[in-house]
Structure 1
């Protein structure tokens, strides 16, 4: 379970869409394990395979010490509530800065587990925000693209300042 190098903003690879996973094998389970270790080392609560330069649709979230980490393969939002919430977001690829993003308050996703079994999950609050954030990344949409141009420019300047330290 080695920790992998995380791609940092403004690397253009963060805008590349990930490809669906078609093979559910030991290599996929190893990738999920590496993602979990890399995310914990960052530290973070969510990570995608594209964050480490592997352009497959794999997400690992670790939001609850009781439930533990979960791996989502080929996740897709199949329903989103009309209600929205504001939530402070950031990224393992852009450490040290965050900003509020408006997201759906609840979502239902369809995904596979690491063994290839189809699953669905409905979530609210932080988990719903994380699903939307990480699925955006799988689609090549880095989270700061959800900010207004002015907020995005200010955040990038803050990140550049923090990165120089």
Structure 2
């Protein structure tokens, strides 16, 4: 009778522990979902801010390029007014400045290279943010799954292995006493 009472208590303990674990698992899933929603909002804000930042950089680069083109045109005018000579300009600079197409081609190529680097960096930031978001949420879900499986295994082992062995020993000792 005592052994049966303990077995019933053991079964009730198993049910109670499993109910508690299921409640904990549900709360973890709700928490992870809330985290995912909040992190998604933060991630979208970060992406929007970085997009605005890189657009501003492209605008500044374009303004800089326009000023360089104006300065290049001014150098060409001064050189043509001075018969192809300009004080303070290196030989290499003089060679580039003598040909309008070469000068503006070099300026445009440099501008295109800077814009390409900005675009590549923007893509890198965006991809990194998206990848990080996915990794963090997936890691939280994986860790919760592992925690839950570990806890369920511990509960099962506690009730069905450890306590069952103890109850079996108790039952055997009760039979010996009878």
Q: Same fold (TM over 0.5)?
A: no
TM-score category, normalised to shorter length:
under 0.3
Higher relative contact order (CA 8 A, sep 6+): 2
Q: Which has the larger radius of gyration?
A: 2
Identify the structure with the greater helix proportion: 2
Q: TM-score, normalized by length of structure 1?
A: 0.22
TM-score (normalizing by structure 2): 0.21
